[in-house]
Amino acid sequence: MHHFAVYDMDKTITYAPTWTSFLVRTAAVEAPWRLALLPVAAGATLGYVFGLLSRARLKEITHALLLGRAIPEATVARAAARFADRIVESGIYSGAITQIAEDRAAGNRIVMATASYGFYAAAIAERLGFEAVIATGVVREHGMIRAQIAGENCYGRAKLAMLEAWMAGQGIARGDAVVRFYSDHVSDEPSLEWADVAIAVNPHTQLRAMAWSRGWRVEDWPK
């Protein structure tokens, strides 16, 4: 049997969501003038709140505004490393660090499955010792990262589909695997249902109620 411990990232491992922080911190260093576009990005966020934009489209718009429609991969790699160092130093739950170590010691392969973009989530995962990252991808052309999602936004049912595809790509049948899945948010219900062991970590109200009703573990990790 293959054993996996799969972790969501934002607000499961990290204290807070990471995308806006990554955008703002990267723009401040690489193109400070783009910070003047933050009100436009806020307007796009309102469009999402009112159902005028999808999550995926909101990501693409805020990406284009704060990073540009095309940005060199080398610049993104530099920004991702800088951001990951900061997050790992002061933005990770100590409970997550402890649990990751326990899962690894128990023989689990440690996997991150996140809706965040892989181009920076992978840098965080690497520093935490993850073996694989399943995340939202971007279009890459001629050494540039485009403000365009490649494939699907790794969220909700799409995250589960991407997890299943990744496992199949490893040549592992679902029946030959034992999966633990950790998340803070109800959007991960499909993956939590699919897992052999579902753990709601620092869950918001809706997931906490769902976990109690379905007999899932609930853990509140300390900072």
Report the half-sphere exposure of 19 (CA within 13 A, side-chain side). 18
The band of 188, judged by pLDDT with boundaries at 50, 70 and 90, is very high
Give the pLDDT score at 146.
98
The band of 169, judged by pLDDT with boundaries at 50, 70 and 90, is very high
Give the pLDDT score at 1.
93
Instruction: Summarize the confidence of residues 131-135 as an average pLDDT.
Output: 98
Going along the chain from its start, the domains and CATH numbers come out as: 2-219 (3.40.50.1000)
Interatomic CA distance for residues 15 and 12, integer angstroms:
7
The band of 49, judged by pLDDT with boundaries at 50, 70 and 90, is very high
Distance of CA 9 to the CA centre of its chain: 4
Distance (Å) of CA 160 to CA 22, 56, 194: 25, 16, 8
Predicted confidence (pLDDT) per residue in 55-77, tens digit? 999 999 999 999 999 999 999 99
Interatomic CA distance for residues 146 and 161, integer angstroms:
24
